[in-house]
Copies of this chain bind each other. A is one copy, B any other.
């Protein structure tokens, strides 16, 4: 099972209208090279699930600026003024989700769960229109699981089997998104031989990864 592919092939898997997840937190731990290639490719009408829309000139933010996203599901857009502008002009749908809820929704999508029961957001605009469940006297929102057609993640060290190790704060949403898409592509800062990673330091088992592309 050869998983290592070219950037050209990687990008060919993302098609107009797809829902994609992209790892990273304010551009830290984002697969920057794949994002750049997506901009080059011109793929459009994307729904992007990510922590945030980064900055106008970095990472996911570039896909907002280029107009390739029709919808974003994120926890934060404050660092990218273009996201707010396009939203106000009706050119971009923005769904804002509390960060921990977003993390659990993605994890649920990957773990075969129907959704998340969380008290976070009760009594705020986040709760509007959502099912409320009372369990043992406490109120919870039902936040549905999220999945994507493709997840684009970043790994610091990736072996030939797709096992991923994340350095420092680059981990964030990457291991969660790696579980929650029909196809997962990891941009590897470094590709190492199978066996080079200590099995205790594998943060994402290779079985989740379909393709590996060198950064």
Contact = CB atoms under 8 A, between A and B. Distances in A.
Contact of A118 (B104, B114, B133): B114
Contact of A167 (B113, B135, B200): B200
Contacts of A140: 113-115
A115 B144 contact: no
Nearest to A134: B114
Interface of A: 104, 108, 111-120, 133, 135-136, 138, 140, 142, 144, 165-168, 200-201
A65 to B, nearest CB: 33
A113 B116 CA distance: 7
A192 to B, nearest CB: 15
Contacts of A113: 104, 116-118, 140
B104 A165 contact: no
Contacts of A114: 117-119, 133, 135, 138, 140
A76 B135 CA distance: 27
Contacts of A201: 200-201
Give me the 6 closest cross-chain CB pairs, A-B, nearest first.
Answer: A114-B117, A114-B140, A114-B135, A115-B117, A113-B117, A113-B118
